[in-house]
């Protein structure tokens, strides 16, 4: 099945927001987890799916079979989650022509999606930030040249790219030491820790805005992850700015800004999700969302994902039935 025409809500999401599961791998486990969470929409992590050894691109026949098995269980694949399209090597931005295999695999991934009718791609832009600010524009020039190819393929395949910046909080086991050492937001570019992984070039809402404004297309947009709060964004304001360009949504609650930011269970931090979800609805968003980065369990064995999924479903239902 191939999509035609202008971007439309993801398959199975006819005129409403739906809450689902980001998952992948063994079919029985995926189906079982959907039953536990009482959801029937998923976003699949492509890295867990059958891919060619030569390029890393997904294998169409195997992916088609996988999707058909999920459909037989009443489960709709709303999007693909593609991490690591571009990797962490700065040379891919400084010298894109030397990395054709990686770029071609990213293009092929979009093409296979289109052939399967999976019309949304959650796309993490995890490229590094240079230590010298004078090099930023060279990095951006290469990144934009690659995205011109990705977006052209997205248009041809009728797949919406939902870009996700790397707004990553410091984990609990490194935050205290980082703060004790005097780390502030101004020190982001020079903070290196293997458990953090940064710094990242695209790590704030304004970076995503630049990316989609400089490579404009109806098929090029944003993942409205409320984690962008980490680097100063107000999700409600950003929903207004990105109206019409929101292709995917993630729910994450936080206390504080980087480097002090801590991930907490939805509804216990500084974000008002009833207001956020209402703003999404009012903006015209009618697609998939899921909760993530849920903080620490309150008691041994607590299934935070299950509780958070049920909670977000209730918030969405409240908004859509008003």
* CATH code: domain of residue 28: 3.20.20.150
In a domain, 1, yes or no: no
**pLDDT score at 202:** 96
Take residue 300 and report the two structure tokens written for it: 């041994």
Residue 223: other Cβ atoms inside 10 A: 27
Q: Could you tell me which of 216, 235, 222 has the C-alpha nearest to residue 280?
A: 235
Other CB atoms within 10 A of residue 173 CB: 8
pLDDT of residue 322: 74
Assess if residue 6 is contained within a domain: no
CB neighbourhood size of 28 (10 A): 10
**Residue 125: per-residue pLDDT:** 95
Residue-level pLDDT at 49: 78
Residue 109 lies in a domain: yes
pLDDT at 248 over 50: yes
> Which residues have CB under 8 Å from 321's CB, separation 6+?
none
pLDDT at 47 over 90: no
Phi and psi at 6, nearest 5°, equal -75, 165
5 within some domain: no
Cα 118 to Cα 81: distance, rounded to the nearest angstrom: 11
What is the number of structural domains in the chain? 1
> Average pLDDT over the chain, rounded to whole?
92
Assign 3-class secondary structure to the chain: CCCCCCCCCCCCCCCCCEECEEECCCHHHHHHHHHHHCCCEEEEEHHHCCECCCCCCECHHHHHHHHHHHHHCCCEEEEEEECCCCCCCCHHHHCHHHHHHHHHHHHHHHHHHHHHCCCEEEEECCCECCCCHHHHHHHHHHHHHHHHHHHHHHHHHCCEEEEECCCCCCCHHHHHHHHHCCCCHHHHHHCCCCCCCCCECCCCHHHHHHHHHHCCCCCEEEEEEHHHHHHCCCHHHHHHHCCCCEEEEEECEEECCCCCCEEECCCCCCCCHHHHHHHHHHCCCCCEEEECCCCCCCCCCCCHHHHHHHHHHHHHHHHHHC
Percent of the chain topping pLDDT 90: 85
Q: What is the pLDDT of residue 77?
A: 96
Examine the pLDDT at 26 and tell me if it is beyond 60: yes
pLDDT at 299 exceeding the cut of 70: yes
Q: Does 14 have pLDDT greater than 60?
A: no
Tell me the mean pLDDT in the region 289-294: 97
Question: Where is average pLDDT lowest: 5-19, 162-176, 201-215, 229-243?
Answer: 5-19
Quote the CA–CA distance of 197 and 310 in Å, as a whole number.
31
pLDDT in tens, 77-111: 999 998 767 878 899 999 999 999 899 999 999 99
The whole-number pLDDT of residue 4 equals 34
Bond into 259 cis (ω within 30): yes
In a domain? residue 11: no
More confident: 278 or 49: 278
Confidence of residue 320 (pLDDT cuts 50, 70, 90): very high
pLDDT of 8 > 60? The answer is: no
Domain annotation covers residue 3:
no
State percent of the chain over pLDDT 70: 94
Contacts of 308 (CB under 8 A, 6+ apart): 251, 265, 266, 291, 294
What's residue 108's pLDDT? Answer: 93
- Give me the pLDDT at residue 1, please: 27
> What average pLDDT does range 58-77 have in this prediction?
94
> Which residue range(s) make up the domain with 305?
18-321
Residue 278 neighbours by CB distance under 10 Å:
18
pLDDT-derived band of residue 2, with 50, 70 and 90 as boundaries?
Answer: very low
Does residue 69 lie in a domain region? yes
- Check pLDDT > 80 for residue 36: yes
CB 43 within 8 A of CB 80: yes
Look at residue 319 in the predicted model and tell me its pLDDT.
95
Crossing angle between the packed helical segments 205-214 and 136-157, to the nearest 10 degrees: 60
Residue 38 resides in a domain: yes
Average pLDDT over residues 205-220: 98
User: Which pLDDT score, from 0 to 100, does residue 57 have?
Assistant: 82
Q: For position 54, what pLDDT does the model report?
A: 67
State the Cα–Cα distance between residues 85 and 47, nearest whole angstrom. Answer: 10
Mean pLDDT over 161-184 rounds to 96
């Amino acid at each position: 099945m191939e999509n035609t025409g202008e971007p439309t809500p993801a398959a199975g999401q006819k005129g409403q927001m739906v809450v689902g599961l980001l998952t992948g791998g063994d079919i029985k486990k995926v189906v079982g987890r959907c039953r536990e969470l009482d959801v029937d929409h998923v976003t699949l992590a492509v890295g867990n799916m059958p891919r060619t050894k030569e390029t890393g691109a997904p294998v169409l026949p195997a992916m088609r079979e996988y999707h058909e098995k999920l459909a037989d269980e009443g489960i709709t694949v709303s999007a693909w989650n593609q991490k690591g399209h571009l990797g962490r090597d700065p040379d891919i931005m400084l010298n894109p022509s030397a990395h054709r295999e990686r770029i071609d695999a990213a293009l092929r991934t979009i093409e296979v999606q289109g052939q399967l009718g999976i019309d949304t791609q959650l796309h993490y832009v995890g490229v590094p930030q240079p230590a010298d600010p004078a090099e930023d524009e060279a990095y951006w020039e290469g990144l934009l040249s690659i995205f011109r190819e990705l977006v052209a393929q997205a248009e041809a395949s009728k797949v919406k790219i939902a870009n996700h910046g790397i707004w990553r909080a410091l984990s609990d086991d490194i935050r205290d030491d980082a703060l004790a050492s005097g780390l502030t937001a101004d020190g982001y570019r020079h903070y290196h820790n293997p458990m953090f992984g940064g710094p990242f070039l695209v790590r704030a809402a304004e970076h995503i805005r630049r990316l989609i404004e400089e490579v404009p297309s109806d098929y090029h947009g944003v993942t409205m992850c409320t984690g962008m709060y980490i680097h100063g964004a107000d999700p409600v304001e950003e929903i207004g700015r990105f109206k019409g360009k929101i292709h995917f949504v993630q729910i994450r609650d936080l206390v504080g800004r980087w480097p002090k930011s801590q991930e907490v269970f939805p509804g216990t931090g500084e974000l008002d999700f009833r207001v956020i979800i209402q703003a999404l609805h009012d903006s015209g968003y009618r697609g998939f969302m899921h909760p993530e980065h849920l903080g620490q369990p309150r008691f041994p064995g607590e299934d935070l994902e299950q509780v958070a999924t049920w909670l977000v479903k209730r918030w969405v239902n409240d908004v859509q039935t008003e």
